[in-house]
Amino acid sequence: MPVPDQGPLHPRLRATRPGTRLRSVATALAATALLVGSAPVGASAGHVATPRPATVPDAAPATITFYGRGYGHGVGMSQYGARGRALAGQDAATILAHYYQGTTPGTTDPTRPIRILVLQAFKPSATKPLKIYGRGGPWTIDGIDASFPKDALLRVTKTATGFRLTVRDSAGALLLDRDTKGSVRVRAGAKAGSRIQVWSKPGSYDRYRGVVRLRSTKSGIDAINETQLDLYLRGVVPVEMPATWPVEALRAQAIAARSYAAHRLHPKTGFWDVYDDGRSQGYRGSLAERAGSTKAIIDTAGQVLRSGTSFANTLFHSTGGGATEDNENVFTDALGGIVAGPVSYLRGSPDRAPDGTAYDAAAPHATWQTAAYTLEQLATIFGADPRTNVGALAGLDLSNVGVSGRLISVTLTGNLGSKTVSGAVFRAVFNAESPAADPYMWSTLVSTSPIP
């Protein structure tokens, strides 16, 4: 997912944050139809209001449009912001020092092992086995005294105690047919270009360096790529940031991605360290590798950010929208309650050049707006989800915001009462239930008027 909606911020945005403006629909449109039959704005989630007579002033707005900035959660490094800073002449160290204030440069072994879950709960059958190919050179299976030629196919099904393994060469000749207990490790050979292809993985990015471990679970078969940290990054950095971007931005991304992964290593527990998708960071194996990003990884080999003696949890996202946010204001519970402790180096800050221009101004979602909606249309959208269904919508309180102006929580009020949800839930329900052809809310940096 190039420049994705992901995941990691600084000094506070007190003077310039959008949240210092009036951002409550209910108060911004006071004495309008938004107050019809409503409970007081700010009522607790699930509170049932006593309906009161409707009073609709002549000045009631016909429609509401949501305006926003940025794409992603807004915590840590803005990738488009890093690009803009690199184009302005900043090096990777300067870029990272802005987004992760208080961290210190460090190093780690670039060859340290990392385990990536690349296929989960695959359900094999006799007619649909798990299929794995050895590509680019001979390959092996740990514990089996044989080497298999390139392009030979391994078919795997489950047994009561392990797996049934069948290997045939590219011409169809049988090379192996046996049962094995426990997990299985399929190992790429030493020849340059030798890879293991997990053919059964959906999508076209299915080739991996190192080892693919197969593990039997109650749900099916998991495939786990075991490789080295900096080899793993070769399949991460060009997924998270286009390899054609400025070199200092790529170096910053490489260091952030390495630190993020190192923070999650737990070699003595569990079966994998990271996912290969947005639950961790995007990883597409060797087919994703690109020259520009590989050079940035080599140039920064082993470089990480630390907080004290620990690896920093270097979250990042696509587009900050001119400002980043404190971690605890973003990763809330479903009602917008603050449940995470503040992380000293994930503080929100302005992300603008001295002339006031946002460093991410060139991003596709630097600024955006939704379609215009009537109250009745918004009631239908939010009424489709029980978390936000308050009946005939009368009020939307968008005033609870963080240091960047991002929504911490939203209170919806209607003839059935009031409910409060997190900014993330509010955005998710809107995106899921609004007409498919309508523009998205790309972040929780949202207002009912344009955000400078």
Residues 6+ apart with CB under 8 A from 436: none
Q: Are 100 and 310 in contact (CB under 8 A)?
A: no
The helix (run of H) or strand (run of E) holding residue 423 is helix 423-433
Tens digits of residue pLDDT in 343-387: 999 999 999 999 999 999 999 999 999 999 999 999 999 999 999
Tens digits of residue pLDDT in 138-181: 999 999 999 999 999 999 999 998 999 999 999 999 999 999 99
Asked if pLDDT for residue 21 goes beyond 60, the answer is: no
Reported confidence tier of residue 62, pLDDT bands at 50, 70, 90: confident
- Amino acid identity, position 116: I
Asked if pLDDT for residue 264 goes beyond 60, the answer is: yes
Percent of the chain with pLDDT over 70: 87
Distances (CA, A) of 98 to 14, 73, 78, 101, 345: 17, 17, 10, 6, 10
| 28-51 average pLDDT score | 31
As a whole number, the mean pLDDT across the chain is 89
Reported confidence tier of residue 36, pLDDT bands at 50, 70, 90: very low
DSSP 8-state assignment for residue 19 = G
For residue 382, give the nearest of 431, 424, 445 by alpha carbon.
431
DSSP 8-state assignment for residue 145 = S
Rounded distance, CA 280 to CA 199, Å?
22
Q: What is the pLDDT of residue 41?
A: 26
Reported confidence tier of residue 33, pLDDT bands at 50, 70, 90: very low
Tens digits of residue pLDDT in 266-310: 999 999 999 999 999 999 999 999 999 999 999 999 999 999 999
Cα dihedral across residues 15, 75, 359, 428: positive or negative: negative
Asked if pLDDT for residue 23 goes beyond 60, the answer is: no
Q: Are 124 and 156 in contact (CB under 8 A)?
A: yes
Asked if pLDDT for residue 340 goes beyond 90, the answer is: yes
Residues 6+ apart with CB under 8 A from 379: 391, 392, 393, 414
Q: How many CB atoms lie within 10 A of CB 123?
A: 10
Tens digits of residue pLDDT in 77-105: 999 999 999 999 999 999 999 999 999 99
Tens digits of residue pLDDT in 224-249: 999 999 999 999 999 999 999 999 99
Rounded distance, CA 44 to CA 448, Å?
23
Q: What is the pLDDT of residue 18?
A: 31
Q: Which two tokens stand for residue 79?
A: 């990738």
Q: Which two tokens stand for residue 433?
A: 């239930």
Q: Which two tokens stand for residue 16?
A: 């310039």
Reported confidence tier of residue 17, pLDDT bands at 50, 70, 90: very low
Rounded distance, CA 170 to CA 331, Å?
50
- Across 385-403, b (16+ Cβ under 10 Å) vs e yields bebbbbbbbbbbbbbbbbb
Asked if pLDDT for residue 57 goes beyond 50, the answer is: no
Residues 6+ apart with CB under 8 A from 372: 63, 64, 65
Q: How do strand 316-317 and strand 77-78 relate by DSSP bridges?
A: parallel
Q: What is the pLDDT of residue 283?
A: 98
Rounded distance, CA 119 to CA 321, Å?
34
